[in-house]
Amino acid sequence: MQYIFIVNANIHKRKKKSFEKALYALPKDIRSKIIVKYTRYENHAERLAVAFSEKFGSECIIFACGGDGTVHEVANALAFRSSPMGVLPLGTCNDFARTVYPPEFCKKPLMILKHLENPDIRPIDLLRIDSYDALGNHLPIWSRYCLNIASMGLDTLVQAKAKLMVAKHPKSMFYRKHAYSMAAVSCLLTGWRYKMDYSIELDNGDIIEKKNVRYSLVSICNGRYYGGGFCPAPSAEIDDGVLDVCLVDHMSRTKAFSQLMKYKKGHHVGQPGFTMYRSTSGIFSSLDSNFQLQGNYDGEDFFGHKVRYEIVPKAIRFANF
């Protein structure tokens, strides 16, 4: 078995140094099976993953080493391929890792390297997002697989502000850890207005259709966490063939402030203003031909006048440790 580590070159220097030191400390026979590649440009991780998968097939595990953006690229590369995917959470938030790994692996991810020869490889689900323009034309540039969570509305606005904060303070670990929470407070102060139509297919086959819905955000969840530890779907499982969709009603800024920590901790389920659906597919549509819905999948932005989602069961092989 070959172990391929695709590393986001933008990880913190301290993490990079610790990673390289941990690799060197492995037994020589394991080190001889390891290949490390650092990304050089956007989508490089995806291209590397495709190339290694075509070369080694099922005889390799390809690790996404970085944050959720790196995980997103590698997952899109390995969908429906024989090569298992692994995750070494070396990024800032590492939200997908919170779902699949015990807390000690998230806090000390290099512990995973000690278990390379004992992977638990199993198929897990992917979420598919397809975007369309106002005329109904498919938009490939905004259509992707998502391993963790896709969302639209307030949280995407929050994410955009958080990215700006990190970009302005690239060397600050404080901003890397707390940018999302600070951006959330900033957005709550300025307010928001979102409307849409939607049609959601439930896991029992029933269809829920609603028109002219005022909302704050909607999250479509394969995993449980995003945004640096926010938990919109505390019961989500990545291999059950179902998505947990959380729709948050429009709220006043005052009420949103009081509900924010409930949403972060996953205590919002069953509370007024929060609707949870167990769903296999659905469509969200903008009410204005001049206004696109803006969302993100695994933290990467997408846009569309109509956005369709669906669960793709057992679409990728995942190596857990």
Chain segment 191-233, per-residue pLDDT in tens: 678 899 999 999 999 999 999 999 999 999 999 999 888 999 9
What is the reported pTM?
0.90
Q: What is the pLDDT of residues 11-66, one digit of tens each?
A: 989 999 999 999 999 999 999 999 999 999 999 999 999 999 999 999 999 999 99
User: Where are the domain boundaries for CATH 3.40.50.10330 in the chain?
Assistant: 2-118
pLDDT at 257 over 90: no
Predicted pLDDT of residue 193: 80
Question: Across 67-76, 89-98, 174-183, which has the greatest mean pLDDT?
Answer: 67-76
Nearest CA to 308 out of 289, 288, 281 is that of 281
| Cα 92 to Cα 2, 6, 200, 226, 283, distances in angstroms | 27, 16, 33, 11, 31
Share of the chain above pLDDT 90, in %: 76
Residues in the chain: 321
Nearest CA to 131 out of 144, 116, 114 is that of 144
The three-class DSSP label of residue 52 is: helix
| Cα 153 to Cα 32, 46, 180, 246, distances in angstroms | 47, 27, 15, 12
Predicted pLDDT of residue 256: 77
* Type of residue numbered 26: L
DSSP codes, 299-314: TEEEEESEEEEEEEEE
d(CA 209, CA 261) in angstroms, rounded, equals 29
Share of the chain above pLDDT 70, in %: 100
Q: What's the CATH superfamily of 2-118?
A: Probable inorganic polyphosphate/atp-NAD kinase; domain 1 (3.40.50.10330)
Predicted pLDDT of residue 65: 97
User: Where are the domain boundaries for CATH 2.60.200.40 in the chain?
Assistant: 127-315
Mean of all residue pLDDT scores within the chain: 93
Q: Max CA-CA distance within the chain? A: 62
Architecture per CATH, domain 127-315, reads as Sandwich (2.60)
Cβ 264 vs Cβ 291: under 8 Å: no
